[in-house]
Structure 1
């Protein structure tokens, strides 16, 4: 492979995929989202890019492991027991597969993500 295969997020011109969570998952607001998936591995198990979310709250059920780094905004991640973690600019964390709860965007949020979908 050559240097041309390196994916530089700062130079990427990936088109946005805009979407909203399914209506039955939305708890508050109108959380429109966009993903700029800059990289997908040939096997399809790993993806990396930038995600943006508007103010709102929705339920989540992670089937993948996800590394995140918050670039902008404020969000709150809550587990099924109601325990909360506030996520701000500069926070870096991993959400393991199997996590269930809610994601709430308090201020428009932008994050880097790396997702690994484990195949059984």
Structure 2
């Protein structure tokens, strides 16, 4: 059966205070919230919203992520790589083996889709 699930915009007061495996604060005192609004029946795909306040994390990814930025600005720098600046309206992907920093310059809200690696 084919289905379509519309993800409603979450209320700012809702959301789960989040700590993500593989994410370590390296600068400032950022905080994050996650609204996981849909999980595929086999558990391999999770979609929702994520919000974070300014600061810097070092992130280690084990899943593929597609992102559409709603608000904010981030400089994402792969370890040993070239920085990429993303802001509201941008879309990007992060590969499952990514390691590097997320420098959150302005409070971020994004749509996300995680695809767990096979």
TM-score between the two structures when normalised by the length of structure 2: 0.86
Of structures 1 and 2, the larger Rg is shown by: 1
CA deviation profile, 1:6-38 (whole Å, cap 9, x unmatched):
42222667x51112468x821111111001001
Query: Does 1:35 pair with 2:48?
Result: no
Distance 1:71 1:11 in 2: 11
Distance 1:19 1:61 in 2: 16
Q: Return closer, same or farther for 1:74/1:43 CA change in 2, 3 Å cut-off.
A: same
Distance 2:69 2:10 in 1: 19
Where structure 2 has 5 or more consecutive residues not aligned to the other structure, the ranges are none
Where structure 1 has 5 or more consecutive residues not aligned to the other structure, the ranges are none
Report the aligned-residue RMSD. Answer: 2.2
Residue number in structure 2 paired with 1:9: 7
Instruction: Please state whether the residue corresponding to 2:57 is helix, strand or coil.
Output: strand
TM-score between the two structures when normalised by the length of structure 1: 0.85
Distance 1:87 1:41 in 2: 27
1:1-120 matched pairs, under 5 angstroms:
6-10=4-8, 15-20=14-19, 25-119=24-118
